[in-house]
Amino acid sequence: MRRHRQSRILATLGPSSSTPERIRALVEAGADVFRLNFSHGSHADHAERLRQIRAIEREVGRPIGILMDLQGPKLRIGKLAQGKVMLAAGSRFRLDLDASEGNATRANLPHPEIFAALETGTELLLDDGKLRLRVEAFGPDFADTTVLVGGPLSDRKGVNVPGVVLPISPLTPKDLADLDYGLSLGVDWVALSFVQRPEDVREAREIVGDRAWIMAKLEKPAAIERLDEIVALADGVMVARGDLGVELPPQQVPILQKRIVRAARAAGKPVVVATQMLESMISAPVPTRAEASDVATAIYDGADAVMLSAESASGQYPVEAVTIMDRIITEVEQDPDWRAGLEASHMPAQANTPEAICCALRRVTALLNPAATVAYSSSGFSCLRASRERPSTPILGLTPQLATARRLALVWGVHPVPFEDVHDVAEMVEHASAAVVTHGFAQPGDDVVIIAGLPFGRSGSTNLLHVVKIPK
């Protein structure tokens, strides 16, 4: 089950992909990590899917990562008397805390935190941005608005407040219950929705601890304003383009995608590009050429992974979607311009020993063209730092921790392998030489580059680079 590409595929499970046979087919087609979307499905549903993934993982002998995606706060209007009303451009419309059914002139908005954050002139978006309102007057329990862009409005449609930091936690009571359950199941990543500020990541970290790695979903404009701080605190980030595209003009989303990818790569944190990557494959067996180009662009930029949502969760062609995504990535990574682009966008190293070792790793692999790099890592730190350099060789991540191996399944270029611990350099060289041959990365007589931290088992201590020729 060795992958012959460096970028990874994150596939969402759902009604179209919930049988052991279908999950196995997705793995064989190229899925490296599976997303469990806690916005849908019961705890029992997610537990069964996780059980199936772990069983398939044992069958294929390859660590498979599991990411739980928390729903986060959902801001919605209340019910309308007729189920739907028509708002005309230029008309006045009130939002308030009155729980009674709404009509063409007012609707319930059961979120006092929104009223607390408003200013005159603030724009509110309804129904994924299809309707736009401007606040003319407001109080602690109401907002009088003018309809800028009208149209039909139905019950329980979502509300977005772009450009405003709302005084709410990203973790609702539902999220807290889901998080506790997901961590008890042993998920590897937690995707945190509705991140607005660094404090949101800290709040999640206090609960998650070291039981999983945290992926901050960047879907709010406020988060972009403090991007570097959020990236520094999270273990990885996701470019959640769907929600970004609601609160920002669509022409800004590609620019922000590149900015987020650059920031994550500079920090050595995995970055996932998500949403509508192969959207047409929900109902068609092939993607549009624009979608294929979209996936390719993320790979040329150096993203660690690209994600499928409804395409694999509820679409008619989940396995085909993964297969096509795998082929696009593979084709791009065979293009010399892809490698040249990674070299041109290389991030300078920091002045510390681990970064110096991994910077040297990049130069050594470019000069010697070894068969593979082996990174010994208990915490995953050495693998992350090696991946940050985007070396020209695959990275075999040897770790004594199965949980670490599963988390690394999302990381660019890293082929994680659970492995027994080593106690000295000679034993390390022996085990590394055997592993690269066993897993099909090298043959006797090939050069292999090894990085590790001494003493073994101490996180963040990468200080050794060793070049070895595998004995014939």
Domains of the chain: 8-72+170-336 (3.20.20.60), 84-160 (2.40.33.10), 353-469 (3.40.1380.20)
pLDDT of residue 8: 98
- pLDDT digits 0-9 by tens, 365-386: 999 999 999 999 999 999 999 9
Cβ atoms 264, 271 nearer than 8 A: yes
- pTM (predicted TM-score): 0.95
35 is catalytic: yes
pLDDT of 294 reads: 97
| Spatial CA neighbour of 236 closest among 251, 221, 215, 253 | 215
- Judge whether 109 and 77 are in contact, CB under 8 Å: yes
pLDDT at 51: 98
pLDDT at residue 237 tops 70: yes
User: Rounded to an integer, what distance in angstroms lies between the CA atom of residue 325 and that of residue 5?
Assistant: 11
Whether residue 303 is predicted with pLDDT greater than 70 in this model: the reply is yes
Q: Which pLDDT value is given to residue 223?
A: 96
Catalytic, out of 8, 62, 217, 265: 217
Give the span between the Cα atoms of 141 and 111, in whole angstroms. 9
- Run of H or E including 374: strand 372-376
pLDDT confidence of residue 154: 94
In this prediction, residues 325-329 reach a mean pLDDT of 98
Question: CB within 8 A of 229, min separation 6: which ones?
Answer: 198
Concerning whether 393 is annotated as a catalytic residue, the answer is no
Angle at 338 between CA 337 and CA 341, to 5 degrees: 80
Q: Is 76 a catalytic residue?
A: yes
Which tens digits make up the pLDDT trace of 25-54? 999 999 999 999 999 999 999 999 999 999
Confidence check: pLDDT of 459 > 80:
no
Catalytic residue, from 12, 122, 275, 373: name it.
275
Phi-psi bin for 45: left (phi > 0), alpha (psi -120 to 50), beta?
alpha
CB 161 within 8 A of CB 185: no
> Out of 24, 74, 76, 134, which one is annotated catalytic?
76
**Number of neighbours of residue 464 by Cβ within 10 angstroms:** 17
Q: What is the CA radius of gyration of the chain?
A: 24
Letter for the amino acid at 383? Answer: C
Q: Is 2 a catalytic residue?
A: no
Q: Which of 3, 35, 106, 362 is catalytic?
A: 35
pLDDT category of residue 1 using cuts at 50, 70 and 90: low
Provide the mean pLDDT of the chain.
95
Structure token digits, residue 467: 């070049």
Q: What is the chain's length?
A: 472
* Residue bearing the bigger pLDDT, 126 or 1: 126
- Per-residue pLDDT at 280 exceeds 90: yes
Q: What would the pLDDT profile of 180-231 be if each residue is shown by its tens digit? A: 999 999 999 999 999 999 999 999 999 999 999 999 999 999 999 999 999 9
> Worst-scoring range by mean pLDDT, 41-45, 90-94, 258-262, 345-349?
345-349
